[in-house]
Amino acid sequence: MARYKKILVVGSGPIKIGEAAEFDYSGSQALRALKEEGISTILINSNVATVQTTHSSADKVYLLPVTSEFIRIVIERERPEAIMIGFGGQSALNAGIDLSKDGTLAKYNVDLLGTKIIDIEKALGRSDFSKLMKAVKISVPPSASARSEDEALSAAKKIGFPLMVRVSFNLGGRGSSIVEDAEGLKGILKKAFAQSRVGEVLVEKYLEGWKEIEYEVVRDSFGNCAVVACIENLDPMGIHTGDSVAVTPSQTLDDYDYQRMRSVAIQVAEAINLIGECNVQFALDPKSSNFYVIETNPRMSRSSALASKATGYPLAYVSAKLALGYKLYELKNEISKATTACFEPSLDYITIKMPRWDINKFEGAEERIGSEMKSIGEVMAIGRSLEEAMQKAARMLDIGESGIVGGTLYHSDLSKEEAISAIKERKPYWFRYVAKALKEGATTEEISRESGISQFFVDKIKGMVELYEHFLNKEISAPDAKHLLSLGFSPLQLNLTKEISVKEIDTLAAEWPASSSYLYTAGSGIEDDIRPKGLSKLLVLGSGVFRIGVSVEFDYSSVAIAEEAKKHFDEVILLNCNPETVSTDWNKVGRLYFDEITAETVSSICDKEQASDIAIFSAGQTGNNLAKAISQRKIRIYGSDSDSIAHAEDRKKFSELLEKLGIGQPEWTDATSSTSIKRFIDEIGFPVLVRPSFILSGAAMKVANNMHELEEYLREAAIVSREHPVVISRFLKGCIEAELDCASDGKSILGVMLQHIEETGVHSGDSTIFTPANLENIIRYRMNEIALELARTLKIKGLFNIQFAIENGEPKVIELNLRASRSMPFSSKSLGINLVESAIKGINGKFEWDGFKEPEHRSIAVKSPQFSWSQLKGAYPHLSPEMKSTGESAALGRNFNDALLKSWLGVTGNKIPKKGILIYGRENRTELLRSTESLSGFTMLYTLESNPIPGCEQLTEAKAMNMLAGNEIDLVIGDGYMPDNDKKLRRLAVDLNIPLVLNGRLAERLSNAFVNSSISFDELREYW
């Protein structure tokens, strides 16, 4: 076995649809696997919010864009002996391929560990793969590859419609489509070609209604294999696996089909000389034993993260060890400890994965799912019955469903026909429509036919509908209650009292004694697998499903809290339901419950574990929303108590408090009576901001420009935050926005001040943020003072964040959140401090200083948002008070331009323009004009005739679109909301992977950075 001392691991960059926190999980595991060997690890990743970009994960962290250019520089500086590119998604893999092809790896004598590049290319090139499969006599669907429209059309003619068009070397199914005819095919080709880094698409027979099955294979360099999991998608072929509901283990395969596909999966792994892990996707005819191999991904993937959590088999960890040259059976089964990693887990439970979509946050986006992934997060539920897992999953999605049956839609007046047509249209969350259609009398055959979902699963939903209808609003006898609880019915649905047993995930279905700390709860069972000891225990709530506004940054906090709190408790228990996270790595935390984050489950777990305290501040908004319910159950809340939280979250109470303390805020009124609203509007006029309480990421937070809009938004707000007040306030237009991320002991504060480049009105999650803030001392002083006053008045202990708008030199408080913030990992890493560590100190004791303290910055840090417009067909790319970005990138620099440029380039898809910039807009026109001044001579400059910037060549939208398509414009800058003028243009830009800048103030700073910047490439610590 080659002995390495220093290895570079490549991360996946910012979170986008199709590449999310699962790569933080797999990268962190790989780093741990290397560390155990005494290998020094270097990580490159621009995603500041991750766990892996901390020095407890990697010895050296380069917060730099994941592109071959930047990786090359890190290689030059660090001279690693080897590189791992299989743990950072498609981004890392693509960068690795580039580095191998351009000779960098050879030049610096860097070994590429794991599957070889030549084999990766065989696996990912659609036509190469198809040829390879035919060579080893594995059947693939009739298909042909094409590199031009003509080739695609002639291939289509040969194969026949309908067709599935797939793209080589991509992620999230981007650019893929199902097309019915030649016109449809022509319509999608341009995007498809643009989304492939090699300009190749595969035109393939569309296997309508076939089952989609996925196997996860591990293979060592000696050819030893194990097939760790088989995942069965409930959605048929044609729905991206990322958007499919999936069950593990497979439920409808008999041993004959299961084993034949398993053997072929191993043959595929052998054909691509896999070292490590791959998934192999199959299409299986539901009416025969015929199947085809669809594709393989020779790297860690979303499904491998899911499979790891579903089975208890740490695929990334094992994969990293195999890349080092271990034999599969030389590695221990990390859960049983007694057995080896060479086995195939047996599950004595069912897991269901359900995707979470936020499509309705995107104006104009098509609300249907298909071959391009659109979901933003996912949950995994574990149960002892399929029904239990499904109902838990439905609740975990946090979309207001109390289970598979009994939600708002279920009780709506939707007809059977409407429900069935929603199923046919592939509306997200199909379980709601299936349950509704069955309730309204549809047959399971009918649903199965229309949806392509196996009747087995539809029958299960039918059973739930029947039971629900039978027991709704009735007293339930003890034996019936037992049965209903075993099927995952909750007190939110029927007259039940929750009872649980605690079960262990041991990978071996209890065949061997295991000492696992990976647990779930079941509504059935005669015994618990745990015997709680009388220890002091803290239950840390994870943030649950990722959605717009809640992402890996909250997972970072969960992990940080769990690690820090170990110093103060005998045992720390983590509860989460999100398979994409590091916090659900049972090796990372002491004890893990993979379960619902609901008041009922939380209190049941606290009972079973005899936990004394509960930490909710890393659970995003879910945690704060639970605070009240939890405190009523006599469990101690760790940190600020529920009254303080309610005071900050309740908009009305909070505004009153600010008034009492004499702290500036925008004029406001509570939206209780129409007369008070009218009086308020008469006084201050439009625009106004409508703000519901207890929400996150600006859900239903809208700017109303007239009475009509105001009424509409008030209605929406009332739905989002039913039990809590809605407040209307004056919209502070064009102000500078700033924030404080703080840790408090109730008296003193450790804080980091952040400033936004974009003005108020752009959601903070969509803003470009930098620190140290560039504000006058008197403003800074006032902000710090406000933070102290609020912390002392509300007795804040732990983490909090305040957002300010600065109007005429006066900081006005927009909101206060008593929890970990989205920017907290960024704030901490900008200075090399750990706000979580301080917060825990503050909860348990006192700081050594008095008052407000912000450490001195020795560099500039900038954080940029990552958007996923391209995946959301039809969505109009623009900025507003409601958050739309999916992830973030950050960089530290020696000066502002240095940090800004790297941070912006760290966003996937962003490139410095070389040919032409299109710049136009309605807002921030002064800044746009100044941008053109900086950029003059840098590239060609064009503007749109509808909203022109002087001094640039004016184009019609059509002409501009031609130039985008013709590669003559490689950056679009457009500020303002004007879909009538530029929606098609913005859409084309994102479909062609051309970067967009949607704000003039950002454009101005960026233009400066394009023109004059010297880039530094230092390790994180060197900036502190």
Q: At what angle do helices 552-565 and 835-844 cross, to 10 degrees?
A: 50
| Residue 722 CB contacts under 8 Å (≥ 6 apart), including other chains | none
For the CB of residue 469, give the shortest distance to other proteins in the complex, in Å. 13
Q: Which of residues 72-111 bind other proteins (CB under 8 A)?
A: none
Told to check if 256 binds other proteins by CB under 8 A, we report: yes
For the CB of residue 353, give the shortest distance to other proteins in the complex, in Å. 17
Q: Report the residue from 38, 135, 287, 937 that binds other proteins according to the rule CB under 8 A.
A: 287
CB atoms within 10 A of CB 937: 8
Q: Which is nearer to other proteins, 456 or 781 (CB)?
A: 456
Q: How many residues bind other proteins (CB under 8 A)?
A: 61
Q: Which is nearer to other proteins, 432 or 460 (CB)?
A: 460
Span interacting with other proteins, options 256-264, 703-711, 930-938, 949-957, rule CB under 8 A: 256-264
> Which secondary-structure segment (H or E) carries 902?
helix 896-905
Told to check if 527 binds other proteins by CB under 8 A, we report: yes
Whether residue 692 has a cis bond before it, omega within 30° of 0: no
Q: Report the residue from 148, 259, 408, 536 that binds other proteins according to the rule CB under 8 A.
A: 259
For the CB of residue 868, give the shortest distance to other proteins in the complex, in Å. 36
Whether residue 286 has a cis bond before it, omega within 30° of 0: no
The separation between CA 975 and the C-alpha centre of its own chain, rounded to angstroms, equals 26
Q: Which of residues 340-399 bind other proteins (CB under 8 A)?
A: 340, 342-350, 384-386
Angle at 148 between CA 147 and CA 152, to 5 degrees: 90
For the CB of residue 327, give the shortest distance to other proteins in the complex, in Å. 7
**Site map for other proteins, 477-496, x if CB under 8 A?**
---x--x-------------
Q: At what angle do helices 416-424 and 444-451 cross, to 10 degrees?
A: 30
Q: Which is nearer to other proteins, 31 or 247 (CB)?
A: 247
Told to check if 530 binds other proteins by CB under 8 A, we report: no
Nearest to 791 by CA among 739, 851, 844, 737: 851
Span interacting with other proteins, options 40-48, 80-88, 323-331, 687-695, rule CB under 8 A: 323-331
For the CB of residue 369, give the shortest distance to other proteins in the complex, in Å. 26
**What φ, ψ does residue 625 adopt, rounded to 5°?**
-65, -25
For the CB of residue 876, give the shortest distance to other proteins in the complex, in Å. 45
CA distance linking residue 820 with residue 616, whole number of Å: 9
- Strand 636-637's sheet: what is its strand order? 501-504, 518-522, 591-594, 571-576, 537-541, 613-615, 636-637
CB neighbour class for 513 (10 Å; exposed up to 12, middle 13-18, buried from 19) = exposed
- β-bridge pairing 40-44 and 613-615: unpaired
Told to check if 508 binds other proteins by CB under 8 A, we report: yes
Told to check if 311 binds other proteins by CB under 8 A, we report: no
**Site map for other proteins, 777-806, x if CB under 8 A?**
------------------------------
Told to check if 459 binds other proteins by CB under 8 A, we report: yes
DSSP string, 650-688: SHHHHHHHHHHHT-----EEETT-HHHHHHHHHHH-S-E
Q: What is the 3-state secondary structure of 637-651?
A: ECCCCHHHHHHHHCH
Q: Which is nearer to other proteins, 142 or 223 (CB)?
A: 223
Q: At what angle do helices 315-323 and 302-311 cross, to 10 degrees?
A: 110
For the CB of residue 255, give the shortest distance to other proteins in the complex, in Å. 3
Told to check if 855 binds other proteins by CB under 8 A, we report: no
Told to check if 515 binds other proteins by CB under 8 A, we report: no
Span interacting with other proteins, options 9-17, 190-198, 220-228, 743-751, rule CB under 8 A: 220-228
For the CB of residue 256, give the shortest distance to other proteins in the complex, in Å. 7
Q: Report the residue from 328, 405, 589, 794 that binds other proteins according to the rule CB under 8 A.
A: 328
Could you say which DSSP state residue 1001 is in? H
- Amino acid at position 86, single letter: G
CA distance linking residue 22 with residue 15, whole number of Å: 10
Q: Which is nearer to other proteins, 470 or 678 (CB)?
A: 470
CB neighbour class for 515 (10 Å; exposed up to 12, middle 13-18, buried from 19) = exposed
**What φ, ψ does residue 11 adopt, rounded to 5°?**
-85, -170
For the CB of residue 343, give the shortest distance to other proteins in the complex, in Å. 5
Told to check if 475 binds other proteins by CB under 8 A, we report: no
Q: Which of residues 685-744 bind other proteins (CB under 8 A)?
A: none
CA distance linking residue 387 with residue 487, whole number of Å: 5
Span interacting with other proteins, options 6-14, 52-60, 169-177, 524-532, rule CB under 8 A: 524-532
Query: Which tokens is 393 given?
Result: 């999953």
Span interacting with other proteins, options 7-15, 333-341, 680-688, 841-849, rule CB under 8 A: 333-341
CA distance linking residue 994 with residue 979, whole number of Å: 18
Query: Which tokens is 793 given?
Result: 């008045």
Q: Which is nearer to other proteins, 528 or 789 (CB)?
A: 528
Contact status, residue 865 vs residue 768, Cβ threshold 8 Å: yes
CA distance linking residue 390 with residue 245, whole number of Å: 9
Told to check if 445 binds other proteins by CB under 8 A, we report: no
For the CB of residue 468, give the shortest distance to other proteins in the complex, in Å. 13
Span interacting with other proteins, options 67-75, 452-460, 755-763, 766-774, rule CB under 8 A: 452-460
For the CB of residue 330, give the shortest distance to other proteins in the complex, in Å. 8
Q: Report the residue from 160, 513, 845, 950 that binds other proteins according to the rule CB under 8 A.
A: 513
Told to check if 456 binds other proteins by CB under 8 A, we report: yes
> Which secondary-structure segment (H or E) carries 164?
strand 163-167
Sign for the pseudo-dihedral over CA of 705, 706, 709, 712: positive
Q: Which is nearer to other proteins, 252 or 1016 (CB)?
A: 252
Residues that bind other proteins (CB under 8 A): 222-227, 249-256, 258-260, 262-263, 266, 286-289, 327-329, 338-340, 342-350, 384-386, 455-456, 459, 470, 480, 483, 501, 503, 508-513, 524-527, 529
